[in-house]
């Protein structure tokens, strides 16, 4: 892991792949990941961990299936949101976005329970930024 300052704009400019997060640093046992996203991800759930989102650019929407029903949160640039553990969710960005996520190292991008994984989704635990 790099122990120098990281410019997120430069890090985002270093890759084009969508829905394929890069690990920019680690904090204790947590990955700080950035990703470019556009279109839809898949419905999935993380049974044992919350998932933190920060929108760096664009707008991210997250549909949630909660006990009270289904709802969607819209996150503009600079907004943060945490999906609680055990909550089915589906991120999407109709016009594209750049996001930062904070979650335990090794957390799969497609969660613990999910629908079929389409070809445009990278089922990964994150790629090192230099990869």
User: Which domains, from first to last, does the chain contain?
Assistant: 30-109 (2.60.120.10)
Per-residue pLDDT of the chain (131 residues; tens, 9 = 90+): 678 899 999 999 999 999 999 999 999 999 999 999 999 999 999 999 999 999 999 999 999 999 999 999 999 999 999 999 999 999 999 999 999 999 999 999 999 877 788 888 998 999 998 74
What distances in angstroms separate CA 66 from CA 28, 108, 122, one per listed residue?
Answer: 30, 21, 25
* Closest C-alpha among 83, 79, 130, 92 to residue 111: 83
**Global confidence as pTM:** 0.93
Q: Cβ contacts of residue 59 below 8 Å, gap of 6+?
A: 74, 75, 76, 77, 93, 94, 95, 97
DSSP 104: E
Q: Where are the beta strands (DSSP E) in the chain?
A: 22-27, 30-40, 44-45, 51-58, 60-66, 69-75, 80-83, 88-104, 113-114, 127-128
pLDDT of residue 114: 73
pLDDT of residue 112: 86
């Amino acid at each position: 892991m790099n122990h120098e300052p990281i410019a997120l704009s430069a890090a985002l400019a270093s890759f084009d792949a969508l829905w394929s997060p890069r690990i920019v640093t680690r904090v204790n046992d947590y990955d700080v990941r950035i990703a470019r996203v556009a279109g839809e991800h898949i419905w999935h759930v993380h049974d044992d961990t919350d998932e933190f989102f920060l929108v760096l650019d664009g707008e991210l929407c997250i549909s949630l299936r909660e006990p009270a029903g289904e709802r969607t949160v819209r996150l503009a640039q600079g907004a943060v949101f945490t999906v609680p553990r055990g909550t089915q969710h589906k991120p999407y960005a109709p016009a594209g976005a750049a996001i930062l996520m904070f979650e335990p190292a090794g957390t799969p991008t497609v969660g613990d329970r999910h629908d079929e994984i389409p070809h445009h989704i990278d089922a990964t635990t994150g790629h090192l930024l230099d990869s």
